[in-house]
Structure 1
């Protein structure tokens, strides 16, 4: 847990001063302060490997005695159970198939203990279109959910990370993007999710900057636009860059990663979130950057200048569930090659 000290508090006060100045009355008239509220938000994020590991299975397939005897679980049910237990304000998924998204949406708003009673609380952004072998022919992409009602969402398309030749050959390609939605009752507060490419290629020309850096810089520009408009936000996702990587530097200017200050788990880095090889996971992984087999690439970011003075922020990663199955429960496997990442931050949000 990290307390926002004098530097961050000063930044927040400076931002408030800018906002007040921007909304001030003409010279000689009384200036009304910009109305704000202080609100604590919790985030739950998971890259679920919906196609790569779960093969598009959404939890609706029939189960039998073998499934029951082996205690097999669907990734969808593991996700819903964790969300209902953690009870976050916001949820995001990367690498999720459309059917999995629909099933999770239904289960989060139903049952004996629904997570939300909002009518419009879920959004999906396609990054790989339906009609291929991916996700059993369904669309594939990113999703976000909110416990409270959402306003109109927007999908921000990021620089493309594949060539026309690869697309034409039928290879696995994605239209990378960032999906954002404001709270309906608090439109100055946005929640976003993104999944940055892991590619180091220089596109579109051999002399171009590396495409992963281009996408990270595009996210930075979008978030900076939110700040310039007086909007607050939290963004979660698989950034395919570990804390301290040079390509992440520009994005981190003016932003705080919620798991970077835990004194028990690698200050400045945080707990690992991803397995390079889910078939042979490290049984006792070290949590720091030196362990290249288990990197920290899933992040939750908050605008540093909007973290409430004297507040705290924190994050945690959860063990990957181990009892998923794609063969009717006969064999069990990890439910993803990423861990669930949760985080909490208190923000100052404009209410005008």
Structure 2
């Protein structure tokens, strides 16, 4: 298990890697820019809690079917709370006939936030003894990727005692043919306590959001563009989102029924799933919060006023653990967003590394 000190050290190294080249002009940039339109598909799939770590509940089929059926087809796909077996099955199906979503060979990344307990009997525990975490996929070929560890939302004593904990992180990958463009996914903690000092420290969810902000600023300082999706466990208008929302736009923020907020994405009220109930989509009216977000840096939007859009979809109710009783496949809805992004034209970034094979 990762200790607090190790997590903090990893976070520091990750941030150092981002900022190391922040002042250097990317090779070949020469002030030239272009615009590209990208579509992002995101889902927190509750891979363990609702789907039991299985790839056979119907969740994988629902996810792959949704991705392949979208028009326009997504350029990027993001998953939170996914088990490794589910990730592998989705990875393989997205690249397989019929109707393959991608022809790329290096298009998938997985980053574990919780490791299996080596002392547990095989096939038991979280994800039936597999890794649990975040994943991203790209329709186009990927180059390098990085996992940035966020401030720990557990104490060393809790880790030592065997209490469940996650190493919250942000996973980012760079496109091979557009090396000035990155896509990221993250899952921020639900914890609202103060760590490491229970009195004087900032709340840990605020710390993690601040770390995400700083990592993204490093990309901007390095001349890069990006989109980031994930379960932020914070609504767009919450104060702790302020450090991100001052420089970013959430792609569903122009929803005509809930301006600057968007449709809800996570269930607090299980009686409401269908977005076409006739009720207003705001959490204040429906009791279900908007915590899954797709963020673009506002000054990189080709048209900051209307060059983006997003929508959330009903949760499929076709999943089953016992092969008999159908249930909702997750407690979150799929969020799909499109944005036209301005990005610099260059072929080589400072510090480029050989990309790993698809994980």
- Tell me the CA shift for residue 243 of structure 1: 1.5
Give the structure 2 partner of residue 188 of structure 1.
Answer: 180
Q: Secondary structure at the match of 1:167?
A: helix
| Matched ranges for 1:199-348 at <5 A | 199-206=191-198, 207-263=200-256, 265-276=257-268, 278=270, 281=272, 284=277, 286-291=280-285, 293-309=287-303, 312-328=307-323, 330-348=324-342
Question: Do the aligned residues in 1 keep the contact of 2:273 with 2:314 (CA within 8 Å)?
Answer: no
The answer to whether the 8 A contact 1:49-1:336 is kept is: yes
**Match status 1:99 vs 2:85:** yes
The question of whether the paired residues in 2 share the 8 Å contact of 1:277 and 1:337 is answered with: no
Aligned to 1:151, the other structure's residue is in SS state: strand
| 1:73-95 residue CA offsets vs partner (Å, 9 max, x unmatched) | 61000000000011200000000
Question: Do the aligned residues in 1 keep the contact of 2:280 with 2:286 (CA within 8 Å)?
Answer: no
TM-align CA RMSD: 1.8
Equivalent residue in structure 1 for 2:111, among 125, 130, 134: 125
Give 1:281 shift: 4.6
**Contact (CA 8 Å) 1:258, 1:315: kept in 2 or not?**
yes
Shift of 1:252: 1.1
TM-score, normalised to structure 2's length? 0.82
Q: Distance in 2 between matches of 1:210 and 1:39?
A: 37
In the TM superposition, residue 331 of structure 1 has moved relative to its aligned partner by 0.7
The answer to whether the 8 Å contact 1:181/1:190 transfers is yes
| 2:77 counterpart of 1:83 | no
SS at match of 1:325: coil
Unaligned runs of 5+ in 1: 1-21, 25-31, 60-72
Alpha-carbon distance in 2 for matches of 1:276, 1:164: 31
d(CA) in 1 for partners of 2:339, 2:98: 29
Given that 1:23 and 1:34 are in contact with CA atoms closer than 8 Å, whether structure 2 keeps it comes out as no
* Residues 55 and 326 in structure 1, CA contact (< 8 A), matched pair in contact too: yes
Q: In the alignment, is the contact (CA less than 8 A) between 2:228 and 2:295 conserved in 1? A: yes
Contact 2:249–2:297 (Cα < 8 Å) also in 1: yes
Q: TM-score, with normalisation over the residues of structure 1?
A: 0.84
1:168 Cα offset (Å): 2.9
What runs of 5+ residues in structure 2 fail to find an aligned partner? 1-23, 347-359
Tell me the residue number matched to 1:74: 58
SS in 1 for 2:179: strand
Separation in structure 1 between the aligned mates of residue 197 and residue 262 of structure 2, nearest angstrom: 35
Equivalent residue, structure 2, for 1:62: none
Equivalent residue for 1:46, pick from 27, 43, 46: 43
The structural deviation recorded for 1:307 is: 0.7
Shift of 1:172: 2.2
What is the CA–CA distance in structure 2 between the aligned matches of 1:346 and 1:93, rounded to whole Å?
22
Whether the 8 Å contact between 1:47 and 1:336 is mirrored in structure 2 is yes
Partner of 2:150: 158
Mark the structure with the bigger radius of gyration: 1
Matches of 1:297 and 1:150 in 2, distance apart?
27
* In 1, Cα distance between equivalents of 2:184 and 2:95: 21
1: CA distance between counterparts of 2:107 and 2:174? Answer: 10
Equivalent position SS for 2:87: helix
Deviation of the 1:262 alpha carbon: 1.9
Aligned pair in 2 of structure 1 residues 233, 334: CA closer, same or farther (>3 Å)?
A: same
Deviations 1:233-283 (A, max 9, x none): 0000000000110000011121111000121x30011000001255x5567
Shift of the alpha carbon at 1:166? 2.4
